[in-house]
Amino acid sequence: MKRREFLRSMSAVAAGGMVSAPAVWSPAKAQSRQETLLIVSESGPNNLDIHGVGTNVPGYEVSWNCYDRLISHEMKTVNGTPYYDRDKFKMELAEDMKIGDMSATFKLKKNATFHDGTPVTAKDVKWSLDRAVTVGGFPTFQMGAGSLTKPEQFVVVDDNTFRVDFLRKDRLTIPDLAVIVPCIVNSELVKKNATEKDPWGLEYTKQNTAGSGAYRVASWTAGTEVIFERNENWKGGPLPKIKRIVWRIVPSAGNRRALLERGDADISYDLPNKDFVELKDAGKLTIVSTPYSNGIQYIGMNVKTPPFDNLKVRQAVAYAIPYQKIMDAVLFGLSKPMFGAPADKATEVAWPQPTKFNTDIAKAKQLMAEAGYPNGFETTLSFDLGFAGVNEPLCVLTQESLAQIGIKCTINKIPGATWRTELNKKTLPLYTNVFSGWLDYPEYFFIWCYHGKNSIFNTMSYQSKTLDGFVDGAVTAAAEGNKATYETDVKGFVDTAFTDMPRIPIYQPYVNVAMQKNVSGYQYWFHRRLDYRSLVKA
């Protein structure tokens, strides 16, 4: 479809006249424009269930809005933007939480129901958390990051009382109950749709929401559109103002921008940074830019196989990355550099923090020769096509720069729907990705991304007993309140990672959101996706 034809069709949607999507603003559905929000983005979910295999980042948005958790976070304000408070919790499905020495007990809201009207009970909570720690992959590892690993930890006291027993003292346990994974699923509904080969009903929940959250998925056409309807009986918080959410997948950045400028779309959050800068300067839209909590965009290398098993090759790549060109030509200033720290700068007790690498082609060539690759080699450089707006130009600039030291890269564009699956095979030799830890602690990031023991996002296949020891020590020291040991361990694992360089930090991204002036209520969350529950349209 040509751009002009596309825009004409989208305008028809806004007018309620397009046959393929009559429900968006159709008078027959009694939906006013003020009660419907149209979101346009580059890519959409590949799975409606956070517990599913290979669920992508857009899938997080579905789960967050359609399922409840026992607890959530309060909000604070950071640089004028509502921002989740890492250290303060509020009740969601629970109406009360009591934390003891080695357990936490939750009283459930007695009037909470699932979307089909079934009451939410402690049995559903246990089944859901049992599911999360059993299905394997990302959900199970996420639960384990907070020392939640065994079904025996989850205890039904009575229909409205549920207890979590702690395996050990771990400051990440309670925060881990507020992330997306420990969502509460309608166990009886899912069990009816489970099979012997699929006892947790993952095939059913891949296509259908089965929660108690503020919204439910009314329809989903993969790669095209998701339509959400408000749960009028939601008890997890105040009833949202927006009745209906239409999330339209529009791969072309130019089309997304045009839809915003015409007023046909209400929100977009993954336009190229150049567009965000220009739209902000124009002043017709509200633009919010917030740094990712605990996150970086990086170049990863598979250190298990040649040539990236060679430290000098990895260092050569780190010196060859065109950092400032990426900052200027791709990001337009909307990010925080994670390179170029002064040579005498001390390591901080913080994450993320910049490396001391800068672009130095002569140094990179020298290292390539010392590594035994004076003429370079060929490889592939992979990226997630679902976020091509940033990833593609970043890879093109990197490809051009690596060619100067003899590394010939073929760019490998992996569809967003399969990116997570391909990444987790841990076979990509060279790739770019973003990782942002949901729990904003340095050791949490390193548990996920560097620890050698079954770390699902250690996609570099990196192994270091030294680094593992520092990470494990930091977790223990944090639980025991041993500040001095904790600080030593954090500096230790950061220094080890920057010495071994299995992945190269480039920058800390910003979440950039463009909204019409009559849309308000945007909140920044650790998962970086939209929370529909707080949005308001005047």
For residue 467, the SS3 value is helix
- Taking the alpha carbons at both ends of the chain, their separation in whole angstroms is 33
Please, which residues have CB within 8 angstroms of residue 335's CB and are 6 or more apart in sequence? 273, 291, 297, 327, 507, 508, 509, 510
Closest CA to 436 of 345, 341, 524, 305: 524
Strand partners, 163: 105, 155
Q: What is the pLDDT of residue 10?
A: 44
The Cα angle at residue 50 between residues 45 and 54, in degrees rounded to 5: 65
Q: What is the pLDDT of residue 19?
A: 31
Name the token pair of 67. 């399922």
Between CA 240 and CA 231 the distance in angstroms is 9
Between CA 39 and CA 226 the distance in angstroms is 10
Closest CA to 305 of 141, 114, 502: 502
Q: What is the pLDDT of residue 455?
A: 84
Closest CA to 307 of 407, 397, 422: 407
* Residue type (1 letter), 121: T
Name the token pair of 508. 């800390």
Q: What is the pLDDT of residue 150?
A: 97
Element (H, E) at 295: strand 295-301
Three-state SS string across 118-155, please? CECCHHHHHHHHHHHHHCCHHHHHHHHCCCCCCHHHEE
CA torsion sign for 56, 61, 62, 68 is positive
Please, which residues have CB within 8 angstroms of residue 9's CB and are 6 or more apart in sequence? 1, 18
CA torsion sign for 334, 340, 346, 349 is positive
Regions of the chain short of the pLDDT cut 70: 1-32
Chain-centroid distance of CA 92 in Å reads 21
Structural domains of the chain in order of their starting residue, each with its CATH number: 3-65+213-284+517-537 (3.40.190.10), 68-73+83-189 (3.90.76.10), 295-510 (3.10.105.10)
Chain-centroid distance of CA 142 in Å reads 12
* Residue type (1 letter), 156: V
Q: What is the pLDDT of residue 33?
A: 77
Q: Let me know: does 46 contact 416? Beta carbons within 8 Å.
A: yes
Query: Tens digits of per-residue pLDDT, 186-213?
Result: 999 999 999 999 999 999 999 999 999 9
Between CA 224 and CA 154 the distance in angstroms is 39
For residue 213, the SS3 value is coil
Q: Is 484 exposed, middle or buried (0-12, 13-18, 19+ CB in 10 A)?
A: exposed
Q: What is the pLDDT of residue 30?
A: 39
Name the token pair of 76. 């604070």
**Which residue matches tokens 């992330």?**
179
* Residue type (1 letter), 368: M
Between CA 451 and CA 467 the distance in angstroms is 7
Total Cβ atoms within 10 A of residue 350: 10
Q: What is the pLDDT of residue 456?
A: 86
Between CA 65 and CA 183 the distance in angstroms is 11
Q: Let me know: does 434 contact 394? Beta carbons within 8 Å.
A: no
Q: What is the pLDDT of residue 147?
A: 95
Between CA 533 and CA 150 the distance in angstroms is 32
Q: What is the pLDDT of residue 214?
A: 98
Side-chain half-sphere exposure of 157, counting CA atoms within 13 A: 12
